[in-house]
Homo-oligomer: A and B are copies of this chain.
């Protein structure tokens, strides 16, 4: 503390007016000792670099609240945390992201229809106990491995290349562990995708797309840029015709038709959108809706191309038939697969490489481990199909597991290895509520059938668009963001989209 004492040589005010020794810092209560924490003795000048600290959040004691550790902060993990009772459990979340992304609205942020913060929900708002309860924490870290036999996860902090902080390793003991680590974008081993394409899953992806789109719009206006280069810079290629790819294409064409025409008049005739899909676009939707979407997108100027990408270079992609497609912006959205951390875990697997779970979302063969969301699938012995990687599946599983864990906790079986004899109640059953997608120009598809073969309502058009908006605005987690989404929609309607490149 010597530097702190030195700093008290404060002398801005004349000595008679000098603040007395009741300086707020000296009045601070002595720093609370956090009994959960243990650490190696501290060196006098800590140099964190390259030292593996044996730091840990130790196992809970029988008289303490049991601890649920949640890996991940996506739909599944956040819905689970929201539902967990903080009077029963301490909740610890480990994730490289301190917020949940409201993914259905992410495509709208790329062109400024919505702002980035309107679709990001801080975890501390989803489950306030995380920031208030003394035994609950959020750790900005990646899980590097799981030691299921010792009820421990290994973690490393995320530092984003900051110079002043070095990565830090620590372990967290759990009573119950929920793996909700999500999935990874599928690249099918195609070279160059990771280097040159932008995915559309996180807020920083949307930020990158927005920055690049505005950069290209401005650069294409510079004297001496050739016609061909101008067309390349302003060619936006979307690979993958699922809901994300289609919604992003629709948003882009809205942006072009309304804002680019007004605000980039010099280059407006050069900008184009191409959507490349190997099979059918929106394959999970009703045929009539798909046809409608195809017509609408084409009308809005989106070129639909059936093709398979073979290779991705810095300024062009090459299709299977040899066609070269120059691009200025490449967005990749061809579905998801298991992430490297999931593949590396020594746990039972489901078909497709996901973590295997039983009907109660438990990982068999180990105690107190559960898995939900895109990273999990039913083990073969359950005879159940793998569920699609959808927000509604993840959310439903999070909700189910939260109430099951609350039940277990209420029955006194919250601590590690104490739930062996407990009755778990009904297994998890997924009922598909239908699918929605916007296609631009205030039009959307709403398919309320339970399966592709089932019967039910399937709507397309402007009414669907308002159903889409109403459905999502009510599902945005906090009132704050509900308010901001609404305000963003209004201002986009009145003033157009924001084009400052921050």
Measured CB to CB, the residues of A under 8 A from B are 3-4, 6-7, 9-13, 17, 19, 23-25, 28-29, 31-32, 34, 36-40, 42, 46, 48, 53-57, 97-99, 115-117, 120-122, 124, 131-132, 134, 137-141, 157, 159-160, 162-165, 168, 170-172, 195-196, 203-204, 207, 211-212, 214-216, 218-219, 221-229, 231, 233, 262-266, 269-270, 272, 274, 277, 280-281, 291, 294-295, 298-301, 303-307, 314-316, 323-328, 478-480, 483-484, 487, 491, 494-495, 498-502
Contacts and interface: CB of A to CB of B under 8 A. Distances in A.
A182 to B, nearest CB: 17
Contact of A301 (B25, B137, B211): B25
Contacts of A499: 98, 122, 124
A29 B263 CA distance: 19
Contacts of A281: 12
A241 B134 CA distance: 37
B203 A12 contact: no
A502 to B, nearest CB: 5
Nearest to A27: B301
B326 A269 contact: no
Contact of A23 (B17, B32, B298, B327): B298
11 contacts: A3-B326, A6-B324, A12-B277, A36-B223, A122-B498, A139-B222, A164-B314, A164-B328, A168-B219, A168-B222, A207-B502
Contact of A137 (B204, B211, B266, B274): B266
A138 B218 contact: yes
Contacts of A98: 214, 218, 499-501
B12 A304 contact: yes
Contacts of A39: 223-226
A215 B306 contact: no
A260 to B, nearest CB: 10
A220 to B, nearest CB: 10
A387 to B, nearest CB: 27
The 6 closest A-B pairs by CB, nearest first: A55-B224, A99-B500, A39-B224, A140-B218, A42-B226, A120-B500
A332 to B, nearest CB: 14
A340 B183 CA distance: 48
A483 B490 CA distance: 11
Contacts of A325: 3, 7
Given A13-B294, A487-B487, A53 B224 contact: yes
Query: At the interface, is chain A mostly helix, strand, loop or mixed?
Result: mixed
Given A24-B299, A116-B502, 16 more contacts: A6-B323, A10-B306, A13-B291, A28-B269, A32-B269, A39-B224, A42-B227, A46-B228, A55-B225, A98-B500, A120-B502, A124-B499, A134-B266, A138-B221, A165-B215, A207-B502
Nearest to A167: B219
A56 B479 contact: no
A117 B231 CA distance: 29
B13 A99 contact: no
Contact of A225 (B168, B291, B500): B168
Contacts of A216: 165
A274 B137 CA distance: 28
Given A7-B305, A480-B495, A223 B314 contact: no
A500 B299 contact: no
B212 A162 contact: yes
Given A12-B277, A263-B124, A491 B502 contact: no
Contacts of A316: 3
Residue from A36, A281, A307, A500 with most neighbouring chain B CB atoms (10 Å): A500
A375 to B, nearest CB: 23
Contacts of A137: 221, 266
B10 A305 contact: yes
A305 B122 contact: no
A223 B170 contact: yes
A200 to B, nearest CB: 15
